[in-house]
């Protein structure tokens, strides 16, 4: 897949920047949100990144913004490329990498993994400090049903990270009524382990309703409009359960 950026000038269409993203990756992160996503997840909380914003920027322009935050990138901080799907912009990431490297700034990719494993994507992954990979479902049917994508792609990306020894963090959004039981969590654990993924952490995230207004603003139908947010208590219980299973599997 060529990605949304054109090969010639490597402009990227940027949705927004968040200068203080302290929960996606290590330390203080500067997050770059690209537009464009191959998936249409039913529980997406950023539907406003699906389509182009018209805010096209060059790698140098984005780098000039990022470098302003260098004083905050101690203790493992850096850039997080997110979106949308950042790996649709792997050419752009590959172009910005040497610039970041010259300032000693590392990056992390927050991806659905739903991209072809092209040389360009491999290159972006090779240079990343860390990859945060979304394990949306453990079952190809559900994956197709709720995201419209192919479950094999993120798996391939996860395996590539494992093979290359990249630091990998797995994530799954828990949605009430869809994947919020202990059985579900057990299946996820089995799925990632059986497929040989080597990861540092596996974090469960709570489905929330804070992005609902975006559906309204964009006049997009929100398929989960009646689904409640996942309670923090429930999330903690499931995370504890997951950690136990993973530990026992290790043992």
Partner 1 sequence: MNDNRTAWRSFNKGVWCDDINVSNFIKMNYTAYDGDSTFLEGPTARTQKEMKRVHEFLIAENEKGGVLNVDTTKVITILSHPAGYVVDKDTDIIVGLQTDEPLKRGVSPFAGIRSSVQACNAYGYEMSDKIKDEFTYRTTHNTGVFRAYTDTMKKARHAGILTGLPDAYARGRIIGDYRRIALYGMDFLIEKKKYDKDKLGEKEYLDDETIHLLEDLAKQIEFMYQLKELALLYGYDISKPATNAFEAVQWLYFGYLGAVKEQNGAANSIGRIAEFMDIYIERDLRENALTEQKAQELIDDLVIKLRLVRHLRTPEYNDLFAGDPVWVTLAVAGVTNEGKHMVSKTSYRVLNTLYNLGSSAEPNITVLWSERLPENFKKFCAKVSIDTDSIQYENDDLMRRMYGDDYAIACCVSAMKMGKQMQFFGARCNLAKILLMTLNGGKDEIAGDQIAPEGVAFGDEVLDFDKVYTEYKNYLKWLAKLYVNTMNIIHFMHDKYAYERLMMSLHDTDVERLMAFGVSGFSVAVDSLSAIKYAKVYPVRDERGLITDFEIKGSFPKYGNDDDRVDLIGKDLIEYFYRELCKTPAYRGAKHTLSILTITSNVMYGRKTGSTPDGRKAGEPFAPGANPMHGRDAEGALASLNSVAKLDYACCRDGISNTFSITPDALGKNEDDRINHLVTMLDGYFLQDAHHLNVNVLNREKLVAAMNDPTLYPSLTIRVSGYAVNFNKLTRDKQEEVIARTFHHAM
> Scanning the structure block, which residue is given the tokens 């996820």?
188
22 lines the binding site for partner 1 (CB under 8 A): yes
54 lines the binding site for partner 1 (CB under 8 A): no
23 lines the binding site for partner 1 (CB under 8 A): yes
28 lines the binding site for partner 1 (CB under 8 A): yes
User: Binding residue for partner 1 (CB under 8 A) from 11, 18, 223, 227?
Assistant: 18
Written as six digits, the tokens of 142 are 């559900």
- When the beta carbons of 23 and 225 are compared against partner 1, the nearer one is 23
Written as six digits, the tokens of 240 are 């504890």
Taking Cα atoms as reference points, which of 207, 210, 196, 195 lies closest to residue 238?
207
Residues 69-98 that bind partner 1 (CB under 8 A): 69, 71-75, 77
- Give min distance, CB of 215 to partner 1, in A: 16
- When the beta carbons of 30 and 63 are compared against partner 1, the nearer one is 30
Q: What residues does 109 pair with on adjacent strands?
A: 81, 131
User: Binding residue for partner 1 (CB under 8 A) from 11, 27, 139, 195?
Assistant: 27
Give the distance, in angstroms, between the CA of residue 96 and the centroid of all CA atoms in the same chain: 19
Give the distance, in angstroms, between the CA of residue 88 and the centroid of all CA atoms in the same chain: 12
DSSP state of 160: H
Distance CA 170, CA 175 (A): 16
202 lines the binding site for partner 1 (CB under 8 A): no
Binding residues (CB under 8 A) for partner 1: these are 16-23, 27-28, 30-31, 65, 68-69, 71-75, 77
């Amino acid at each position: 897949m060529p990605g949304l950026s054109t090969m010639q000038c490597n402009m990227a269409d940027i949705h927004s920047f968040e200068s203080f993203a302290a929960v996606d990756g290590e330390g203080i992160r500067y997050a770059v949100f690209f537009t464009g996503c191959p998936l249409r997840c039913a529980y997406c909380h950023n539907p406003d990144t699906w389509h182009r914003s018209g805010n096209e920027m060059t790698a140098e322009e984005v780098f000039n913004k990022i470098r302003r935050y260098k004083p905050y990138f101690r203790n493992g901080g850096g850039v997080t490329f997110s979106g949308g799907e950042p790996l649709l912009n792997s050419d752009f990431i590959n172009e910005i990498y040497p610039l970041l490297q010259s300032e000693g700034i590392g990056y992390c990719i927050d991806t659905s993994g739903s991209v072809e494993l092209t040389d360009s994507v491999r290159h972006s992954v090779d240079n990343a400090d860390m990859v945060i990979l979304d394990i949306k479902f453990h079952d190809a049917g559900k994956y197709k049903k709720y995201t419209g994508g192919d479950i094999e792609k993120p798996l391939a990306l996860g395996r590539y990270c494992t093979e290359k020894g990249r630091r990998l963090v797995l994530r799954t959004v828990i949605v009430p009524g869809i994947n919020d039981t202990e059985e579900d969590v057990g299946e996820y654990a089995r799925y990632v382990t059986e497929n040989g993924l080597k990861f540092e952490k596996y974090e469960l995230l709570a489905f929330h309703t804070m992005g609902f207004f975006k559906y309204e603003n964009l006049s997009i139908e929100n398929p989960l409009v009646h689904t409640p947010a996942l309670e923090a208590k429930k999330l903690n219980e499931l995370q504890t359960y997951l950690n136990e299973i993973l530990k026992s599997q290790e043992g």
